[in-house]
Structure 1
Amino acid sequence: MFVGRADELAVLVDALARAADQEPQALLVGGEAGVGKTRLTEEFLGEAARRGAVVAVGGCVEIGAEGLPFAPFSTALRTLLRLLPGELAAAAAGQEDELARILPELGETPRGPHDEESTARLFELTARMLERLAADRTVVLVLEDLHWADTSTRHLLAYLFRALGRGRLVLVATYRADDIHRRHPLRPLLAELDRLRTVQRIELARFNRGEVRRQLAGILASQPDEAFVDSVFERSDGNAFFVEELVASHESGCRTGLTESLRDLLLVRVEVLPDAAQRVVRIVAEGGSTVEYPLLLAVSRLGEDELIEALRAAVGANILLATADGDGYRFRHSLVREAVSDDLLPGERARVNRRYAEALEADETLIRAEERVIRLANYWYAANDPAKALPAVLAASITARRRHAYSEQLSLLERAMDLWESAPDEVREALRPADYTEVYPPCGCDPASTPLQRVDLLAEATVAARYGGERERALKLTKLALRILDEDGGDPLRAAWFWTERSRLIANLGRGDGWQEIATAQELVKGLPPSQVHADVLVRVAGWGMLHNPGPGNLAAAERAVEYARMIGAEETELNARITYGCLLMDSGDGATGLAELHEVKDRAIARGFTVVAGRAHINITSQLESMGRSRAMGRSREAVELAEQGVQLVSKARLLDTEAWVRGNMAESLYSLGRWDEAAEAARRTLHVGHGAAPRGSASARLAYLALARGELTEAAAQLAAAHAHFGTHDSQPQHRIPLFRLAIGVAEGEGRLADVRTETAQAIAYGFPLGQHRYAWPLLLASATAEADARGLPGTEEGRAAALEALRTAARTLATPAPLWSAHSEYLRAELLRAEGRDTVADWTAVETAVSPLERPYLLARVRHRLAEALLGSGGDRDTAAGLLRDAHATADRLGSRRLREDLALLAQRARIPLTPDETRPAAPAPDTDPIEALGLTSRERDVLRLVATGSTNRQIAEELFISPKTASVHVSNILAKLGVAGRGEAAALAHRLRLFTAPAPQP
């Protein structure tokens, strides 16, 4: 009888209905052991099956400290493969080798690639496969006993809960709440999932007395005696499983003598079994959550008839159950298994585990191949046999690595290091790095003949920790390894390898820029013969220099890295070094040679299947094309977008998520330049969705800030600038990141009328410096500062310091390169803005700028220049028809781009000059002598007077005194003005009024 839980079942059934509308559902079901989680799940699955859903259940396996990586997902997917073979094959098409890491039936698991994005790629592929599988049918996945889940399973579950966006999928996970102590690894996951609005959490409470009464009636098939109800309810405290056990004990005649100890209660029914059945039950308890029948037959050493009789007795007593597939046996409830296991003597436990291990070694067919290595490692470890356990644990670590279960690999390697000293010498000396490691530092020795060392395990564990996202742990492992190497007299190549790892980790953790560590590694390899480590160090030195201190000096380091990689035949390392070399060539001014080098590397990497290198080539080529601006032949930004699209297709298929984020970020930058702003915004937002690393996310936020600034959305621009700062942090100041942030800060400050902050940010940027190759970021920064100075000319308090600020801009500009027409145009534009800031600009100055910018595919830049040229023409009494054409063209561009700020600037200038902006617009009437064009903004006469005083810097009290009104009334007027102008503060309102020349004489009229 299904007792209670009506509300909880209704929540699950409602999720089923929601999923049918292509809205994936995620639920967590928690409760103490024995409270009825499985019973509720079974009732829900029955209802789901009646409604035509495809259901699959997978349980987390408790076989040791690590568990089986992805065990519940493997089991559930195996069920789906059996029920929907064609559909699952279609959903996994093209990615079978990667998905085989979770479902081995899909094919051979490849040996690589391994990197920090490997797990993310696997998770993304799993999510997309489930979405495709659930596109046309409702699929229900239940993962049981999450409290036993391995780390990889927890991470995958968290990813699916966040990432599933479509499909008729219901994902339910159950866990034992009373096991989740403060340090339990599931606790942080539950806290994280609680913050997701898409996840529903169901907590099962114990039964009340009425529910216990109904449960007893169902068990006994009659109404129970009220005294018996009271006794059972008091002793079970409403726990459904304890109720069943008490009834069973009562019916078996054990009505007295039961202690209140839970363990004793659970063991009562085991102890009344025949001896052979008790023996089998104890063997099953040590085998794991489920034990296959052939394995049990081998371990029990009973005849088959005798084993079947023993199993029949255990199943009849409701202690064991046959598994759903009929291949093995498990305990009806995990509490009973735990009680039986705890009741074993230490020597007895070791002996049973040894038998399991010996049986698996004797016959590989007893269990599934993908489970054998890890279970064998756990059995030997529990058997307290270091000689057997050490190689078994190391073999299991390799299996975990190949499944991208890096956290489990790390745990196994740490277990191997614990076993290291206790294992016999002859066992350790027989181990070879070639057999048990995959990131063995190549130190000039043969990994197939050299004995494995503990420091080799530390190297493997360091990379496993980094790939698994545990960088703090990885950093501690490198420290331990370097101490061991120092105590042993030092091995310079191994030490250099660990220092290189530390450099990467320290930069990723925000502890520094990693230079001190990589410099130490460089010093260690000096004078040594060429090696993989030496080449890697040189590549990192050159790469660090390219990002942090661009200059010709890094070319030599890049050339040495290429040379060393070629000497040792490390083709992938060579191609990486050549990317750095090509970028440095371009930064040094040899754009054609550098670009050709990068394209050659890209094509070769694609041909050789080096997808990570090919992705990096796409990142750098698209970035460099944008930096080159425009050649005589074609627009480089357009070329960059086309190449970025190819790069996204390449790396997204390989699920190189951070690489994809970088390529999309570069695409967003080029789309912005081309005036395809909606596409640029989508590319930047996609970057934030795809990227995991801080740097690509920071760049995406900066791109969104640029867009918001250009559109006049200052609040959004400031928010995205703050997000970019948060992503980049302060520990690793790279010019390609830092200079754009200075430029954005200048733009936000200018828009808010904070000229003093504009000057401060500009001074800091100039002091920071513009290294070689950074002209692409420096020219827009100087231009933004000069524009702010020009727009602020005449505002109160802006003259002091102006001359010094303009001279600083001119001096900085003289240090910058103009290697392409785009940057020559910026130089011309900057010169004109500096003259405008001094009131000395002419039509000729702006004509020269317009001539330089017109051939470029930079519509927003051109519209701004044409605004200034039209303003100069109208201010000097020049050709009104030419000015009108410029204004209309610029206004159409601003309207298409959605640049409210530029559109308003142009509209006000056109109104002052009485020029219609569209063909069907009537010519504005000449303003009356006592009116102003400011009325176009919807301000009343009184609000115009208040704004005039705000523009001079007056306070509310000063405004009140000037206009003979109360300070409160002045405050109300100011608030209304800010709302009508769409600005956030008084400074921004003052800047807008001055920028639009609202209180200056109209342009000359014909």
Structure 2
Amino acid sequence: MLGDVQKTSVSPVFVGRSDELDTLADALERAAAGEPQAVLVGGEAGVGKTRLLEEFLAGAAAGGAVTATGGCVEIGEDGLPFAPLATALRALHRQVGDALTRAAAGHEGELARLLPELGETARESHDEDGRARLFELTARLLERLTADRTLVLAVEDLHWADRSTRELLGYLFRSLHSARLLIITTYRSDDIHRRHPLRPFLAELDRMRSLHRIELGRFTRAEVRAQLAGIAGGSQPDRDVLDRIFERSDGNAFFVEEIAASLADGCTGGLSTSLRDLLLVRVEALPEDAQRVARIAAAAGSAVEFELLHAVAGLGEDELIEALRAAVGAGILRATPDGDGYRFRHALVREAVVDDLLPGERSRLNRRYAHALEADPGLVRADELPARLASHWYHAHDPAKALPAVLAAAVHARRRYAYTEQLRLLERALELWEDVPKEVREAQRPFDHADVYPACGCDDEALRRLDLLAEIVVAAHMSGERERSLAVARKALRMLDETKDPLRAAWFWTQQGKAAEGLARGDGRAELGRAQELVRGLPPSPVHAEVIAQAAAWSAVHTPGPESYATAEQAVELSRLVGAESTGLSARLTLGGHRIDSGDVEGGLAEMRAVCARAVELGEVHVLGRCYINLASALEGVGRSAEAVTVADEGVEVLHRFGLRDSTAWVHGNKACSLYSLGRWPEAEEAAREALRLARTRMPRGAAAKRFALLALARGEWDAAERELAVARAHYGTHDPQPQYEIPFGHCTLELAAARGRLTDARAALDETLRPGLPAAAQRYAWPLLIAAATAEADARGLPAAEQGRAAVLGSIRAAAKRLPRFIPVWQAHALYLDAELLRADGCEDAHRWAEVVAAFELLDRPYELARARYRWAASLLGAGGEGAAEPLAAAHTTAVRLGARPLREAVELLGRRARLSLGGNRQTGDGLGLTPRERDVLRLVALGHSNGRIAEELFISPKTVSVHVSNILAKLGVSGRGEAAATAHRMGLFSPPVRS
């Protein structure tokens, strides 16, 4: 029954796997409905992953879906960046043609890094957003392609995937939300050892709800019988044959085929139990030329082009074709999907052949491949040539040839934003460095992007080891290997003589500072300071301009003031002198912010807008993100919230077009802040959620959490506010205490503590925030902080525990306020608000002062702050007799209800009930407090801080009765504890202390 196995060892009948096919079919159905799906198919080598995939893809294509497959390529440890996705996109290009070109319109240059057929690759971007932009544009390309079709992308052998491929796949899995797309990947589960790089990737994917896992098991005895019957053309196997094959294969589909073929060839017994020997049995049965071709093909990697194989094999074309025909007929090789070459039908066979190569034979074959590629580079695709040439020369053990090839491959990987693969290649170059003759090293040229580290290569034209270390620093930083970046920067600085090479040293110091900051080991100030010292007094240069521009940007967010302003001006001038426009744009943006803070608001805003326009015109993506982030923030800081939202919307559109995802997240966060100011809280919450969805790094995630905390505070959701503050703090960390983060943290912490009746904690938050001193240009954040502190003191006036230390707290608030500028309308309004609250905290309620506050905020579009001011104005009017209180109180209530500001609404309603005013402006009858007279007595004593025992003594009731009254009070006030009840009573003026006029 096995006589025909020589013709085909693969069953034409698909066996089993019905559950797995159902899972894939369900995923395809969901994808066709517009819900992107991902399926990971795992299983041991030979279990049938490829056959399952082929069967499903055939059915999907028959159903109208467009399918494309790419395989991860094994060529040593170098890998081919993005190889499977590039192959799949190439297959799509062949199938849908113009549709893919239209989907890529406007971004052909960037997407050409993955699919060279789209045209000339765009100028390389040396910023951290370049890679993210490529990923985002790829996602958008797939979204556009699936608008008119369902698309199935299959990636095989994920266990061989380079890190860039894994990261791009992960990005697609996470970021695609509305595409008719199904992505299927396969991997060998038995290859995923504890330290395999795929393991954490799989663990991360497991948390995604749209991803499904399929683990292929081995065949049962019945399924092996069906497989053998298919191989034999329908004839059922003898029971003895079935038992023998099932026992030896243990249900592994590939082993079933191999053992069946061996038996058909007459190997009735004595098959080696060694897996390698089993896999080699059929190779060794081939004619001599076919065996030789199989060995040569194995040394090439997962696949080899026909013309390349012809060049290396040394056979005539007819002899080569006959050898290939024999290998294909025996099921050893198969044609590649594009029809240009051959690959082993199963990777296990290739691995066995490679392992069987004689010592020296593999290096000799690699040398022949390298010579063939150098003689005719057109034998392989241009985008694969550098990595393959580097791999062949390296494994040929020829350092003199390997070094230039590896360096060239590293440059190519960098241009595709495959920074991890670039780093691996550069590390290999460093390994080869000392084994290469000096004349070979000196023949290498510096890397071709002086705008990344212009200090390198500045004193000679030859590649130096320091140039190589500089490239490693950048690649490690870009690939997220901050530890490696820091270590190599330190190593370079130990090698450098700073007196002889100050520019190069300055560059490495700035990189060390970046890495240390990224690793939360400091704020980078010391390293940047050292770089400044090194360039001081030197002639203008790109390095000099970059160091000063970075110093200006650092000072702007840490120590803004006159010195920082001067540094920014110097950076702008230096950039102009040396023609470093990109650096100059960044410096001008920093300078524009300083001009605003110093009083030239219109001039500063105009400068920032001009930088934005120029950055868009030039496509300077690493400046674009800062442009819209900073401009929207600056507009919000001067009270132009509506303009800030408009700029943010424009920024989202522009940054999305350029694929700058993290910068887009930042802009959404700034938009949320402005929408909050405008009283558009549901929109603010949505913008913060969008920021959180898009953010890949901790800073924009922290900003989004801070927005959620602010909303929760205003809504009276204390527990939620506390959670979000903790999340924000975790993202920001404590290694880099920037005022723009620390002051708002102090404000929110203080307000939350005050709301819960913890005045001591509120004072501690204020003291901690003010202790370092308020830097210049901190007014945007400092005014709300000081107002919250004064409000807490005013609300707590009359509490015995609040009196001690009050004068000192109010004094520190006044002292801090004196240093804050007031020349912007929004700052003037805040200053009036603070003055009124300080008077209230002193017991001097002044209705005229509150009227001024209301008038100031009526000129601004800040409804929440206006409503709070109206509430306080109404309360002061009631304290003075009540005339005119109804109208501002009703207006405050309308706003509080619309916003969902529960604490403010409750305070307004309670004040209205106490004054017997309806919120429509009419007097009410009845007490309307919701508390019985006895409960009012108990609450008054609770607000004074008395214990249940002391309350019982004063009111001549039992402690148990007091406890019941306290429980009722807490329920009626909607608070969770005695401290919060006391804070609520004082905040609402339930038992107002004497007021001095």
Range of TM-score over shorter length: over 0.9
Q: Quote how far apart the aligned CAs of 1:981 are.
A: 4.1
- Post-superposition offset of 1:777: 0.9
Letter in structure 2 aligned against 1:468:
S
Q: In the alignment, which residue of structure 1 is the partner of 2:268?
A: 255
Give the Å deviation of 1:238.
Answer: 2.1
Asked if 1 retains the 8 angstrom alpha-carbon contact of 2:80 and 2:384, the reply is: yes
The alpha-carbon deviation at position 912 of structure 1 amounts to: 2.1
- Matching residue within 403, 410, 431 for 2:416: 403
Aligned equivalent of 2:556, options 539, 546, 549: 546
Distance 1:899 1:57, change over 3 A: same
- Structure 1, unaligned stretches of length 5 or more? 630-635
Question: For residue 103 of structure 1, what is the aligned residue in structure 2?
Answer: 115
Q: Distance in 1 between matches of 2:605 and 2:993?
A: 53
Question: Letter of the aligned partner of 2:177 in structure 1?
Answer: G
Question: Which shifted more, 666-675 or 855-864?
Answer: 666-675
Q: Which amino acid aligns with 1:391?
A: P
1:893-932 equivalence runs, <5 A: 893-918=895-920, 923=922, 925-927=924-926, 932=927
CA contact (8 A) 1:736 1:774 kept: yes
Distance in 2 between the 1:206 and 1:808 partners?
Answer: 75
Cα deviation digits, residues 467-498 of structure 1 (max 9, x gap): 12222221122122222225x98522111111
Inter-partner Cα distance in structure 2 for 1:142 and 1:541: 47
Asked if the contact 1:870/1:887 (under 8 Å) is kept, the reply is yes
Q: Give the superposition deviation at 1:33.
A: 0.5
1:573 aligned onto 2:583: yes
Residue 507 of structure 2 corresponds to which residue in structure 1? 497
Aligned partner of 2:540 among 511, 526, 530: 530
| Counterpart in the other structure of 2:55 | 43
- Show the counterpart of 1:381: 394
Residue 858 (str. 1) matches residue 862 (str. 2): yes
Match of 1:179 among 187, 191, 207: 191
Corresponding position of 1:290: 303
Aligned to 2:988: 996
Aligned to 1:934: 929
Percent same amino acid among aligned pairs? 61
Find the aligned partners of 2:61 and 2:757 in 1 and give their Cα distance. 65
More deviation, 525-534/269-278: 525-534
Deviates more, 1:438-447 or 1:125-134: 438-447
Indicate which of 268, 274, 284 corresponds to 2:281: 268
C-alpha displacement of 1:990? 2.8
Whole-angstrom distance in 2 between the partners of 1:944 and 1:406: 69
TM-score by length of 2: 0.94
Give the distance between the partners of 1:266 and 1:980, measured in 2 at CA: 80
Paired residues of 1:912 and 1:1002 also in contact (CA < 8 A): no
Contact 1:603 1:614 in 2 (8 A): no
CA offset digits 1:199-232 (Å, max 9, x no partner): 2111122223333333333333333233333322
1:265 maps to amino acid: L
After superposition, residues 972-987 of structure 1 pair within 5 angstroms as: 978=970, 981-987=973-979
Structure 1 vs Structure 2 CA RMSD: 2.5
* Distance in 2 (alpha carbons) for counterparts of 1:345 and 1:490: 52
Provide the C-alpha distance between the structure 2 equivalents of 1:519 and 1:112, rounded to a whole number of angstroms.
30
2:496 is paired with a residue whose SS is: helix
Normalised by the size of structure 1, how large is the TM-score?
0.93
Secondary structure at the aligned position of 1:344 is classed as coil
Which residue in the other structure is 2:6 paired with? none
Q: Cα distance 1:399–1:970, how it changes in 2: closer, same or farther (>3 A)?
A: farther
Query: Is 1:659 paired with 2:663?
Result: yes
Q: Match for residue 762 of structure 2? A: 758
Q: 1:455 aligns with which of 451, 461, 466?
A: 466
Q: Distance in 2 between matches of 1:193 and 1:893?
A: 45
Q: Is the 8 A contact 1:619 1:666 kept in 2?
A: yes
Task: List 4+ stretches of structure 1 deviating above 6 A.
Answer: 939-946, 956-973, 1000-1003
Distance (Å, rounded) in 1 between the aligned partners of 2:527 and 2:993: 63
1:934 partner SS:
coil
> Bigger CA drift: 73-82 or 795-804?
795-804
2:221 alignment partner AA: R
For 1:57 and 1:971, how far apart are their aligned partners in 2?
72
Q: Is residue 603 from structure 1 mapped to residue 613 from structure 2 by the alignment? A: yes
1:468 maps to 2:479: yes
Which residue number in structure 1 is paired with residue 180 of structure 2?
168
Q: Which residue of structure 2 lines up, in the alignment, with residue 519 of structure 1?
A: 529
CA distance in structure 1 between the aligned counterparts of 2:268 and 2:312, rounded to whole angstroms = 35
The reply on whether 1:730 has 2:743 as its aligned counterpart is no
Distance 1:559 1:805, change over 3 A: same
Which residue in 2 is equivalent to 1:840? 844
CA distance in 2, matches of 1:16, 1:444: 52
Verify the 8 A CA contact 2:751 2:788 in the aligned structure 1: yes
Q: Tell me by how many angstroms 1:957 deviates.
A: 7.1
- The answer on whether the counterparts of 1:911 and 1:924 sit within 8 Å (CA) in structure 2 is no
Matched, 1:78 2:90: yes
5+ unaligned residues in a row in structure 2: which ranges? 1-12
**Deviation (angstroms), 1:439:** 5.6
Match among 618, 623, 634 for residue 613 of structure 1: 623
1:571-625 Cα shifts (integer Å, max 9, x gaps): 2212222222232233334434433433343333334433432442333233223
The structural deviation recorded for 1:697 is 2.5
Q: CA deviation at 1:195?
A: 2.1
Q: CA deviation at 1:963?
A: 8.8
Q: Say whether the 8 Å CA contact 1:440–1:460 is kept in structure 2.
A: no
Question: Helix, strand or coil for the counterpart of 2:213?
Answer: strand
* Pairs within 5 Å for 1:25-36: 25-36=37-48
Partner secondary structure for residue 102 of structure 1:
coil
1:778 aligns with one of 777, 782, 788 = 782
1:865-904 superposed matches below 5 A: 865-879=869-883, 882-904=884-906
Pick closer, same or farther for the CA change 1:359–1:704 going to 2, 3 Å: same
The DSSP-based 3-state class of the residue aligned with 1:818 is coil
CA distance 1:970–1:4, shift in 2 (3 Å): farther
CA contact (8 A) 1:458 1:481 kept: yes
- The AA in structure 1 aligned to 2:92 is L
* Cα distance in 1 for residues equivalent to 2:290 and 2:50: 26
Note closer, same or farther for the CA distance 1:532–1:550 as it changes in structure 2 (3 Å cut). same
Residues 28, 611 of structure 1: alpha-carbon distance in 2 compared, 3 angstrom cutoff: closer
Shift of 1:858: 1.8
In the TM superposition, what is the alpha-carbon distance from 1:696 to its structure 2 partner?
2.7
- Code of the aligned partner of 1:269: R
Q: Does 2:379 correspond to 1:366?
A: yes
Shift of the alpha carbon at 1:699? 2.2
- Structure 2 CA distance, aligned partners of 1:266 and 1:368? 31
Alignment length (residue pairs): 982
Q: Once the 2 structures are TM-superposed, how far is the Cα of residue 801 of structure 1 from its aligned partner?
A: 2.0
Which structure is higher in RCO with an 8 Å CA cutoff and minimum separation 6?
2
Q: Secondary structure at the match of 2:383?
A: helix
CA offsets 1:718-768 (integer angstroms, 9 cap, x no match): 222112111110000111111111001011111111111111111112212
**C-alpha distance 900-44 of structure 1, shift in aligned 2 (>3 A):** same
Distance apart, 1:358 and its partner CA: 1.6
Q: Distance in 1 between matches of 2:182 and 2:878?
A: 67
In the alignment, the residues of structure 2 paired with residue 840 and residue 333 of structure 1 have an alpha-carbon distance, to the nearest angstrom, of 87
The range that moved more, 550-559 or 747-756, is: 550-559
Q: Matches of 2:934 and 2:15 in 1, distance apart?
A: 74
Per the alignment, do residues 965 and 523 of structure 1 end up closer, same or farther by CA in structure 2, a change over 3 Å counting?
same
Distance across 1 between alignment mates of 2:964 and 2:305:
80
User: Which structure 2 residues correspond to residues 310-325 of structure 1 after superposition, within 5 A?
Assistant: 310-325=323-338
How has the CA–CA distance of structure 1 residues 128 and 958 changed in structure 2, closer, same or farther, with 3 Å as cutoff? farther
Supply the distance in 2 between the matched residues of 1:962 and 1:479 (Cα, whole angstroms).
72
Paired letter, 1:853: F
Q: Residue 421 of structure 1 aligns with which residue?
A: 434
CA contact (8 A) 2:146 2:181 kept: yes
Q: Distance in 2 between matches of 1:900 and 1:356?
A: 74
Displacement, 1:146? 0.2
- Secondary structure of the 1:798 match is helix
Listed one character per residue, the Cα deviations across residues 35-86 of structure 1 (whole Å, up to 9, x for unaligned) are: 1111221222233223322221111011121211111111112222222223
Structure 1 Cα separation of the partners of residues 913 and 981 of structure 2? 20
Distance 2:710 2:988 in 1: 22
The question of whether the paired residues in 2 share the 8 Å contact of 1:934 and 1:998 is answered with no
**Which deviates further from its counterpart, 532-541 or 272-281?**
532-541
Cross-structure match for 2:70: 58
Alignment-mate amino acid for residue 483 of structure 2: E
Q: CA deviation at 1:955?
A: 5.6
* Distance (whole Å) between structure 1 residues aligned to residue 56 and residue 751 of structure 2: 57
